[in-house]
Amino acid sequence: MSESPPAAHAPRLPLERWGRGLLAALQARADRTRVGRWAFEFLMFGLKQGWACVFGALMLGLLFVTGFVWPDGAPVARYDFLVIAAVAIQAAMLLLKLESWEEARVIFVFHVVGTIMELFKTSAGSWIYPEPGLLKIGAVPLFSGFMYAAVGSYIARIWRIFDIRFTRYPPVWSTVVLAAAIYVNFFSHHWLPDLRWALFAATALLFWRGRFHFTPDRKTRWMPILLGLFLVALFIWIAENVGTYSHAWLYPGQESGWRLVSLAKLGSWYLLMFISVVLVSLVHRPQAYAPEPELQPAT
């Protein structure tokens, strides 16, 4: 990761403005030393990351907790509770203006795309949902779509919260073609040759020179696009291990006892990251990075 002069900040939602104001006094103290400025920037990076993934973090927490405390014979099945909780969280985020309606539209698209994949993959035996529930489509509980929506929420929110800009972003049409090919391969590889290695090569060919620029505090930093998406995929793979550990869903071989999710799933999530970015880019059009004069701490 490296740094560049800052870009203009993206618009903040009301609670984000309130939180930034609350941190102003701490920032003033941190500005007294170079180490303090670095520490404050690192703090802001962590806070913004946490704020961006609030939907996913709440859902993952519910998966984990209910996996161990949900009573047998409860009047509401655990899966049904998770659906109700996911809808409630989404509604609360909109009503409290923690999320914009534009971001909600992106999340809905992820929900639909993810649910279609879930219906196919469960019918093919790629994974199972072992518990009962009423709020299902076939063998797929409706909360599963919200797990994909959580990924969409994170990408859409981090795009805005960090005011993400790009250098050498590929032509949008080429990214749409790549995303479509990745999505089709998730289905077609059950009958036709698996093209994931060719798709890995295609992602590298399109994005290897690309950078995204993000602003944790005042300075704008950059990271290679491929590295950033791999890191997000890695954290989702870790979250998958939490989900399977709590028996929210199970992969083949986990029915008789939990084991780590195969690293092959990390590759799958890496490819899904490109679908995610392309879907979000249809709403948040990729903006080219234009350096601006550096902001200096107040004296």
Residues 265-283 have pLDDT tens digits of 999 999 999 999 999 988 8
Show Cβ contacts of residue 48 under 8 Å, excluding neighbours closer than 6 positions: 158, 161, 162, 216
Q: Which residues of the chain have pLDDT under 50?
A: 3-9, 295, 297-299
* Residue 53 identity: C
pTM confidence score: 0.85
| 3 state DSSP class of 231 | helix
Number of domains into which the chain is organized: 1
In contact, 79 and 141? CB cutoff 8 Å: yes
Domain residues for the domain of 52 are: 14-281
Residue 183 phi, psi (nearest 5): -65, -45
B/e letters for 175-186, b = 16+ CB within 10 Å, e = fewer, are: beebbebbbebb
Q: Is 140 among the domain residues?
A: yes
Residue 7 pLDDT: 43
Q: Is 148 among the domain residues?
A: yes
165-167 and 140-141 strand pairing: unpaired
Q: Is 295 among the domain residues?
A: no
Q: Is 289 among the domain residues?
A: no
- The rounded distance, in Å, linking the Cα atoms of 105 and 101 is 6
Q: Is 291 among the domain residues?
A: no
Residue 141 pLDDT: 96
